[in-house]
């Protein structure tokens, strides 16, 4: 079995639409919306194609009209695109986001997976970088062979005893000092972290046409091109 795992699509349909299609199952680790220009197209694609989907903090924000607790460098961008996303999504899209599970436990063959957006102990909001020692405790508390998470936008893979923690990175807004979309593949019992080019300038053009502040549009476009996080003092 071949499973393609993506996270943090953030309304970037240009990246999602050219995702390599040769898989048995598509898993999506949350944050389908906000930041990007095409939230409805992304939600429709995920509803149609994904076998496994969990809720991210941005999905929670749109589904329940709540504060997604943005990190300071992204607060203004997130709020501006949240308002845009809320205005263009239909009831059915929001209903879908609202009813996504916070986590799932799945088994494929002999491998047991724990699937969530952030961390098992705080699946919506817990921010835990790959090198954090916290992952050792998180892995110890979960009865699984593999924990798959997103949220940080940075791909990573670490082993803690019998448990592997895998983050595919972000498909729609990578923070890896480059514009390539990031994802992971599980096949034959092994994981590979992968990337691919997509027409990010098309996405940047669509962002420039959004009805939001020009400064926010420019910053979102810059992040797509560079994969760099804006300093908090710039916003």
Query: Which parts of the chain register pLDDT below 50?
Result: 232-235
Strand boundaries in 35-176, DSSP class E: 52-53, 103-108, 111-116, 146-148, 156-160, 163-167
What is the C-alpha separation between 82 and 96, in angstroms, rounded? 16
- Beta carbons within 10 angstroms of residue 209's beta carbon: 9
Condensed to tens digits (0 to 9), the pLDDT of residues 180-199 reads 999 999 999 999 999 999 99
Nearest Cα neighbor of 27 from 191, 184, 176, 182 is: 184
Could you tell me if 111 and 189 are in contact, meaning their C-beta atoms sit under 8 angstroms apart? Answer: yes
**pLDDT at res. 20:** 86
Query: Which pLDDT does position 231 carry in this prediction?
Result: 61
Let me know if domain 2-234 sits in CATH 1.10.10.60. no
Both structure tokens of 43? 């939600």
pLDDT tens readout for residues 134-185 = 999 999 999 999 999 999 999 999 999 999 999 999 999 999 999 999 999 9
Considering the entire predicted model, what is its pTM? 0.95
Q: Where are the domains of the chain?
A: 2-234
DSSP designation for 50: -
Smallest Cα–Cα separation from 195: which of 43, 8, 56, 19? 19
């Amino acid at each position: 079995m071949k499973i393609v795992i993506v996270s943090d699509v953030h309304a970037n349909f240009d990246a999602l639409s050219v995702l390599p299609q040769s898989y048995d199952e598509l898993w999506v680790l949350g944050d389908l919306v906000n930041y990007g220009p095409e939230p409805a197209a992304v939600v429709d694609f995920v509803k149609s194609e994904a076998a496994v989907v969990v809720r991210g903090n941005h999905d929670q924000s749109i589904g329940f009209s709540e504060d997604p607790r943005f990190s300071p460098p992204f607060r203004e961008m997130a709020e501006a695109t949240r308002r845009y996303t809320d205005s263009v999504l239909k009831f059915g899209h929001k209903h879908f986001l609202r009813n996504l599970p916070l986590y799932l436990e799945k088994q494929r063959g002999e491998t047991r997976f724990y699937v969530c957006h952030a961390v098992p102990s705080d699946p919506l909001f817990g921010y835990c970088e790959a090198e954090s020692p916290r992952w050792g405790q998180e892995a110890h508390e979960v009865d699984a062979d593999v924990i798959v998470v997103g949220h940080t936008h940075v791909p990573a893979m670490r082993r803690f005893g019998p448990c592997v923690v895998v983050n595919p990175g972000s498909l729609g807004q990578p923070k890896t000092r480059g514009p390539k979309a990031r994802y992971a593949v599980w096949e034959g019992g092994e994981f590979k972290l992968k990337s691919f080019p997509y027409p990010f300038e098309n996405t940047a053009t669509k962002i420039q046409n959004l009805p939001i502040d020009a400064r926010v549009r420019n910053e979102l476009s810059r992040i797509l091109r560079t994969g760099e996080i804006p300093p908090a003092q710039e916003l």
